[in-house]
Amino acid sequence: MRKTQPSDPSLAKKAKPVPAEPAAGERIQKVLARGGIGSRREIERWIEEGRLKLNGAVVTLGTRIKTGDFLQLNDRVVNWEKFTKQPTRVLLYHKPTGEVVTRRDPEGRPVIFTQLPGLTASRWIAVGRLDINTSGLLLVTNNGELANRLMHPSTQVEREYAVRILGEVPTGIIEKLKQGVELEDGKAKFDEIRFYAGEGANKWYYVTVTEGRNRLVRRLWESQNIVVSRLIRVRYGPVVLPERLKAHSFYELNAQELELLFEFAGMKAE
């Protein structure tokens, strides 16, 4: 987006709601979500706040956009037409510890987006986050609507983690974590806990959650005074971290895999 003023300054002053065009073009929120500008819900909120203008007129929820239309967000031009033809891409990125899931970091820490291939017509969107000390599977896509479907709480997508625990974990605590414990932001639980391996001080478990709350897996263990020494996300929904995918590397889903992911998200395949 470029900071550009409308060709006719009076347009911004005389902006009026523009009527919907049911027979032409696509809904604006759908186009912008596809381009990763925001989720449909976010864009609908922007429309209600009057932040979007089409050909100088304030957009309403029913407004459609077609070739040649002039779109602005917060009075900045949006080059929206490039979002209409791009094919969906999904990458499986193996995030190492030490990287942050953000576009820019004020502390100068490495960010995951510098490790991804460049896009000419949109931007990569991370499907959820992993904190700086958590490694493993991170999905990224250029399709904002797909990302929103996979992250939305109503979808209840399973996230599976491999967790290395320091010390023994009594059976009673395992059951308590499966039944639910109170955290500072509400009750939470593991949907599944499986012992995997380990002798001596370190034990490995696989745990599954269906929420995307910040640092949820660590906080659940820590609520029982258990130290997590390593945390790796190994699965997000139907997508599993490939065994041979090394840290800092990515794998791009092929057409058949994309079709299955669209089906999982309840979307029509391209």
User: Which positions are catalytic?
Assistant: 131
Other beta carbons within 10 angstroms of residue 263's beta carbon come to: 12
Q: 114 to each of 83, 105, 178, how far by Cα in Å? A: 22, 12, 38
Q: 184 to each of 38, 131, 135, 156, how far by Cα in Å? A: 28, 18, 24, 21
Could you please report the per-residue DSSP string of 136-187? EEEEEES-HHHHHHHH-GGG---EEEEEEEES---HHHHHHHHH-EEETTEE
Q: Count helices and strands (H / E) in the chain.
A: 7, 17
Rounded CA separation 210/156 (Å): 5
